[in-house]
A and B are shown apart, each in its own frame.
Chain A
Amino acid sequence: QQQVKQSPQSLIVQKGGISIINCAYENTAFDYFPWYQQFPGKGPALLIAIRPDVSEKKEGRFTISFNKSAKQFSLHIMDSQPGDSATYFCAASKGDDKIIFGKGTRLHILP
Protein backbone atom coordinates (compact mmCIF):
# COMPACT_ATOMS: atom_id res chain seq x y z
CA GLN A 1 0.00 0.00 0.00
CA GLN A 2 1.55 3.24 -1.17
CA GLN A 3 0.95 5.88 1.46
CA VAL A 4 2.21 8.82 -0.59
CA LYS A 5 1.33 8.96 -4.28
CA GLN A 6 3.22 11.35 -6.53
CA SER A 7 2.60 12.51 -10.09
CA PRO A 8 3.69 12.97 -12.75
CA GLN A 9 6.54 10.49 -13.03
CA SER A 10 8.40 12.83 -15.34
CA LEU A 11 7.93 16.42 -16.41
CA ILE A 12 9.43 18.65 -19.08
CA VAL A 13 9.06 22.41 -18.73
CA GLN A 14 10.39 25.31 -20.75
CA LYS A 15 12.80 27.68 -19.05
CA GLY A 16 10.82 30.39 -17.31
CA GLY A 17 7.71 28.24 -17.01
CA ILE A 18 5.97 26.89 -13.93
CA SER A 19 6.69 23.32 -12.84
CA ILE A 20 3.92 21.65 -10.84
CA ILE A 21 4.24 18.32 -9.02
CA ASN A 22 1.36 16.78 -7.12
CA CYS A 23 1.14 14.43 -4.18
CA ALA A 24 -1.65 12.73 -2.26
CA TYR A 25 -1.47 10.98 1.07
CA GLU A 26 -3.70 8.62 2.99
CA ASN A 27 -2.69 8.74 6.64
CA THR A 28 -4.37 11.68 8.39
CA ALA A 29 -1.87 11.33 11.24
CA PHE A 30 0.89 12.77 9.05
CA ASP A 31 1.88 16.20 10.33
CA TYR A 32 5.00 17.10 8.37
CA PHE A 33 5.26 17.27 4.58
CA PRO A 34 8.74 17.90 3.15
CA TRP A 35 9.87 18.09 -0.44
CA TYR A 36 13.32 16.83 -1.37
CA GLN A 37 15.48 17.58 -4.39
CA GLN A 38 17.94 14.97 -5.59
CA PHE A 39 20.62 15.36 -8.22
CA PRO A 40 22.17 12.29 -9.88
CA GLY A 41 24.66 10.56 -7.60
CA LYS A 42 23.69 12.67 -4.59
CA GLY A 43 21.54 12.24 -1.53
CA PRO A 44 18.16 13.97 -1.25
CA ALA A 45 18.30 17.51 0.11
CA LEU A 46 15.42 19.20 1.87
CA LEU A 47 13.92 21.88 -0.35
CA ILE A 48 10.87 23.14 1.52
CA ALA A 49 8.43 21.71 4.05
CA ILE A 50 4.96 22.46 5.36
CA ARG A 51 2.80 21.53 8.35
CA PRO A 52 -0.97 20.95 7.97
CA ASP A 53 -1.97 24.07 9.88
CA VAL A 54 -1.17 26.30 6.90
CA SER A 55 -2.42 26.12 3.31
CA GLU A 56 0.60 27.58 1.57
CA LYS A 57 4.28 28.17 2.14
CA LYS A 58 6.58 30.09 -0.16
CA GLU A 59 10.35 30.21 -0.22
CA GLY A 60 11.81 32.09 -3.14
CA ARG A 61 10.64 30.45 -6.36
CA PHE A 62 9.30 27.38 -4.53
CA THR A 63 5.76 27.18 -3.14
CA ILE A 64 3.92 24.35 -1.42
CA SER A 65 0.13 24.37 -1.62
CA PHE A 66 -1.61 22.17 0.94
CA ASN A 67 -5.21 20.96 0.90
CA LYS A 68 -5.93 19.16 4.16
CA SER A 69 -9.50 18.12 3.33
CA ALA A 70 -8.44 16.58 0.01
CA LYS A 71 -5.26 15.14 1.54
CA GLN A 72 -3.23 16.60 -1.28
CA PHE A 73 -0.24 18.89 -1.57
CA SER A 74 1.76 20.22 -4.46
CA LEU A 75 5.06 21.88 -5.28
CA HIS A 76 5.17 24.83 -7.65
CA ILE A 77 8.48 26.01 -9.07
CA MET A 78 8.09 29.46 -10.59
CA ASP A 79 10.39 30.75 -13.34
CA SER A 80 11.90 27.27 -13.73
CA GLN A 81 15.59 27.21 -14.60
CA PRO A 82 17.82 24.51 -16.15
CA GLY A 83 19.56 24.20 -12.78
CA ASP A 84 16.25 23.01 -11.32
CA SER A 85 16.50 19.85 -13.41
CA ALA A 86 16.55 17.06 -10.83
CA THR A 87 14.34 14.42 -9.25
CA TYR A 88 11.86 15.74 -6.73
CA PHE A 89 10.33 13.67 -3.96
CA CYS A 90 7.34 14.57 -1.86
CA ALA A 91 7.22 12.93 1.54
CA ALA A 92 5.26 12.74 4.76
CA SER A 93 5.93 11.82 8.35
CA LYS A 94 4.29 11.92 11.74
CA GLY A 95 6.20 13.20 14.69
CA ASP A 96 9.65 11.76 14.89
CA ASP A 97 8.74 8.80 12.81
CA LYS A 98 10.27 7.63 9.56
CA ILE A 99 9.74 9.61 6.38
CA ILE A 100 7.47 8.06 3.75
CA PHE A 101 8.58 9.08 0.26
CA GLY A 102 6.68 9.32 -2.99
CA LYS A 103 8.22 7.63 -6.02
CA GLY A 104 9.67 10.82 -7.37
CA THR A 105 9.28 13.12 -10.36
CA ARG A 106 12.07 13.59 -12.87
CA LEU A 107 11.98 17.24 -13.87
CA HIS A 108 13.78 18.49 -16.95
CA ILE A 109 13.89 22.19 -17.73
CA LEU A 110 14.55 22.97 -21.37
CA PRO A 111 17.05 25.82 -21.91
Chain B
Amino acid sequence: NAGVMQNPRHLVRRRGQEARLRCSPMKGHSHVYWYRQLPEEGLKFMVYLQKENIIDESGMPKERFSAEFPKEGPSILRIQQVVRGDSAAYFCASSPRQGAGETQYFGPGTRLLVL
Protein backbone atom coordinates (compact mmCIF):
# COMPACT_ATOMS: atom_id res chain seq x y z
CA ASN B 1 0.00 0.00 0.00
CA ALA B 2 2.40 2.63 -1.27
CA GLY B 3 1.95 6.21 -0.18
CA VAL B 4 2.42 9.31 -2.27
CA MET B 5 5.68 9.07 -4.20
CA GLN B 6 7.77 11.94 -5.42
CA ASN B 7 10.90 11.94 -7.52
CA PRO B 8 13.53 12.95 -7.61
CA ARG B 9 14.01 13.49 -3.89
CA HIS B 10 16.80 15.97 -4.56
CA LEU B 11 17.37 18.03 -7.67
CA VAL B 12 20.18 20.43 -8.45
CA ARG B 13 19.87 22.84 -11.35
CA ARG B 14 21.83 25.80 -12.61
CA ARG B 15 20.10 29.09 -13.22
CA GLY B 16 18.24 29.05 -16.52
CA GLN B 17 17.72 25.29 -16.64
CA GLU B 18 14.41 23.47 -16.38
CA ALA B 19 13.24 21.47 -13.36
CA ARG B 20 10.68 18.68 -13.62
CA LEU B 21 9.19 17.31 -10.44
CA ARG B 22 7.02 14.19 -10.45
CA CYS B 23 4.29 13.05 -8.11
CA SER B 24 2.52 9.70 -8.12
CA PRO B 25 -0.57 9.85 -5.93
CA MET B 26 -1.74 7.08 -3.69
CA LYS B 27 -3.60 4.28 -5.43
CA GLY B 28 -7.18 5.31 -6.06
CA HIS B 29 -6.50 9.02 -5.53
CA SER B 30 -7.39 11.30 -8.41
CA HIS B 31 -6.82 14.67 -6.72
CA VAL B 32 -3.33 16.15 -6.48
CA TYR B 33 -2.14 19.30 -4.73
CA TRP B 34 1.30 20.91 -5.00
CA TYR B 35 2.82 23.00 -2.18
CA ARG B 36 6.09 24.85 -1.84
CA GLN B 37 8.03 25.17 1.41
CA LEU B 38 10.69 27.82 1.73
CA PRO B 39 13.28 27.45 4.51
CA GLU B 40 11.83 28.19 7.95
CA GLU B 41 8.37 28.65 6.44
CA GLY B 42 5.12 26.72 6.29
CA LEU B 43 3.87 25.10 3.13
CA LYS B 44 2.19 27.37 0.60
CA PHE B 45 -0.40 26.10 -1.84
CA MET B 46 0.49 26.28 -5.51
CA VAL B 47 -1.98 24.28 -7.61
CA TYR B 48 -4.79 21.72 -7.37
CA LEU B 49 -5.37 19.24 -10.17
CA GLN B 50 -7.68 16.40 -10.99
CA LYS B 51 -7.01 14.01 -13.81
CA GLU B 52 -6.48 16.09 -16.98
CA ASN B 53 -7.83 19.25 -15.32
CA ILE B 54 -6.37 22.17 -13.42
CA ILE B 55 -8.94 23.10 -10.79
CA ASP B 56 -7.19 25.89 -8.89
CA GLU B 57 -3.85 27.45 -9.81
CA SER B 58 -4.22 30.56 -7.68
CA GLY B 59 -0.93 29.90 -5.88
CA MET B 60 1.18 29.37 -8.98
CA PRO B 61 3.52 32.10 -10.17
CA LYS B 62 2.24 33.44 -13.47
CA GLU B 63 5.46 32.82 -15.34
CA ARG B 64 7.81 29.86 -15.69
CA PHE B 65 5.67 27.45 -13.62
CA SER B 66 3.23 24.92 -15.02
CA ALA B 67 1.57 21.74 -13.80
CA GLU B 68 -0.24 18.83 -15.35
CA PHE B 69 -1.89 15.60 -14.27
CA PRO B 70 -2.39 13.46 -17.36
CA LYS B 71 -4.82 10.61 -17.71
CA GLU B 72 -1.94 8.19 -17.40
CA GLY B 73 1.20 8.71 -15.38
CA PRO B 74 2.29 11.02 -12.60
CA SER B 75 1.53 14.65 -12.02
CA ILE B 76 4.34 16.93 -13.20
CA LEU B 77 5.34 20.32 -11.82
CA ARG B 78 7.56 22.07 -14.33
CA ILE B 79 9.71 25.10 -13.63
CA GLN B 80 11.33 26.72 -16.63
CA GLN B 81 14.43 28.94 -16.49
CA VAL B 82 14.94 28.37 -12.79
CA VAL B 83 16.27 31.16 -10.57
CA ARG B 84 17.89 30.96 -7.13
CA GLY B 85 14.62 31.99 -5.49
CA ASP B 86 13.03 28.75 -6.72
CA SER B 87 15.20 26.79 -4.29
CA ALA B 88 12.73 25.15 -1.92
CA ALA B 89 11.10 21.88 -0.98
CA TYR B 90 8.16 21.01 -3.19
CA PHE B 91 5.53 18.69 -1.77
CA CYS B 92 2.60 17.07 -3.42
CA ALA B 93 -0.41 15.65 -1.64
CA SER B 94 -3.19 13.44 -2.89
CA SER B 95 -6.75 12.76 -1.81
CA PRO B 96 -9.36 10.31 -3.07
CA ARG B 97 -12.16 12.78 -3.61
CA GLN B 98 -13.48 16.22 -2.85
CA GLY B 99 -15.36 16.81 0.31
CA ALA B 100 -15.20 18.64 3.58
CA GLY B 101 -12.60 17.29 5.95
CA GLU B 102 -10.97 15.11 3.35
CA THR B 103 -7.42 14.36 4.34
CA GLN B 104 -4.59 15.12 2.00
CA TYR B 105 -1.69 12.67 2.22
CA PHE B 106 1.71 14.21 1.61
CA GLY B 107 4.67 12.81 -0.23
CA PRO B 108 8.28 13.09 1.01
CA GLY B 109 8.99 16.11 -1.15
CA THR B 110 11.54 17.13 -3.76
CA ARG B 111 14.27 19.46 -2.59
CA LEU B 112 15.30 21.74 -5.40
CA LEU B 113 18.57 23.61 -5.22
CA VAL B 114 19.33 26.20 -7.86
CA LEU B 115 23.00 27.12 -8.17
Contact = CB atoms under 8 A, between A and B. Distances in A.
A32 interface: yes
* Chain A contact residues, majority secondary structure: loop
Given A44-B91, A44-B106, A98-B59, A49 B42 contact: no
B46 to A, nearest CB: 9
Interface stretch (B12-20, B69-77, B78-86, B95-103): B95-103
Contacts of A99: 33, 35, 43, 45, 93, 104
Nearest to B45: A98
A43 B107 contact: yes
A94 B33 CA distance: 15
Interface of B: 4, 31, 33, 35, 40-45, 48, 56, 59, 91, 93, 95, 98-109
B42 A103 contact: yes
A24 to B, nearest CB: 14
A38 to B, nearest CB: 9
Contacts of A97: 56
24 contacts: A6-B42, A31-B100, A32-B100, A34-B103, A43-B108, A43-B109, A46-B103, A49-B101, A51-B101, A89-B42, A89-B43, A95-B99, A96-B95, A98-B33, A98-B59, A99-B33, A99-B43, A100-B45, A101-B43, A101-B44, A102-B42, A103-B41, A103-B42, A104-B40
